[in-house]
Amino acid sequence: MKKFLLATSAIVALVAAAPAGAADIPVKAPVFRPPPPACAQFGGFWLGVNGGWVGYDYTWNDQNAWTAEVDDRLPRELSARNNGGAIGIGGGYNWQSNCTVFGIEVDYAWASTTADKFHTDTGGFDNVTVSSKLRGFGTLRARSGIVVDNLLLYVTGGLAWGSFERDWTLVSFGDVSETFSQRRTRWGGVVGVGTEWAWGGGWSIRSEFLYMRFTKDEVAFTSAFFDTGDVKNFTSLDSIWTSRIGLTYRFGGDVFGKRPVAARY
């Protein structure tokens, strides 16, 4: 009986001591890693249409005194500005990592905006008219941005080209005139900013503002005024700004416009 009581006391003592000993054993708690933010997905191929407003600035310069041969009071440089509508198409590809997007895209827009300027001397006998019509423009751009919830905010830049039709007319004494014409495609650069809102099923609505400036255009013509046969040189400078909205479709888009992100531990 005495031995049984001693054995029982020893077991009770061991059980009582076990929690205290366990408290001294280090336990490595799991490290919580917050999940990356869930945001709309813009990755993949896309196609779209756009429309908006375009402003066109044109500057003409007479390098060889074409106007001065008729009247030295006529200007050798004229600038004109006009604006109108434009409609276009585009497409591209986006790469997305978490909520950062990088993409390449190309687009073209049709326009019909004419910037022209008329100037006459004080007597009204001699005058000069310069005119340049913007027929269309396109861009090849890169863009980079971040996604906040369903909204992509981006900057963009790259190459631009534009199609122009030009006419220059010089009139002397109201009845003798000379006109030069040309049709040109000019290359330049483009920069801009924009937003794109994903609203599900691969569809999104975008808006952007772009500014384009083109290389100087130099041309030479032979003037027949006064039968001189002189070669005259003109330069033209063109710049465009456009503000537009567009509708795009991304192939393989999910229903809700977001990709679920699982928490990591």
Instruction: Answer whether residue 14 is part of any domain.
Output: no
Instruction: Answer whether residue 15 is part of any domain.
Output: no
Give the residue numbers spanning the domain of 81.
50-250
Instruction: Answer whether residue 229 is part of any domain.
Output: yes
Question: Residue 253: exposed, middle, or buried by beta-carbon count in 10 A (0-12, 13-18, 19+)?
Answer: buried
CATH number at residue 56: 2.40.160
pLDDT-flagged residues of the chain (< 70):
1-37, 226-228, 253-265
Q: Determine if the pTM surpasses 0.85.
A: no
CA dihedral 142, 108, 40, 146 (to 10 degrees): 30
Question: Residue 264: exposed, middle, or buried by beta-carbon count in 10 A (0-12, 13-18, 19+)?
Answer: exposed
Q: Tell me: the pLDDT tens digits for 53-98?
A: 999 999 999 998 898 888 888 999 999 999 999 999 999 999 999 9
86 vs 242: CA distance, rounded Å: 9
Instruction: Answer whether residue 194 is part of any domain.
Output: yes
Name the β-bridge partners of 231. 222
Q: Count the residues in the chain.
A: 265
- What are the CA-CA distances from residue 8 to residues 12, 16, 169 (Å)? 6, 12, 121
70 vs 34: CA distance, rounded Å: 78
Residue 136 pLDDT: 97
Instruction: Answer whether residue 4 is part of any domain.
Output: no
Residue 255 pLDDT: 38
Instruction: Answer whether residue 3 is part of any domain.
Output: no
Number of separate domains in the chain: 1
Q: Which residues contact 240 (CB under 8 A, 6 or more apart)?
A: 54, 55, 56, 57, 134, 137, 160, 162, 210, 211, 212, 213, 214
Q: Tell me: the pLDDT tens digits for 135-152?
A: 999 999 999 999 999 999
Are 195 and 248 contacting, i.e. CB atoms less than 8 angstroms apart?
no
Instruction: Answer whether residue 135 is part of any domain.
Output: yes
Instruction: Answer whether residue 17 is part of any domain.
Output: no
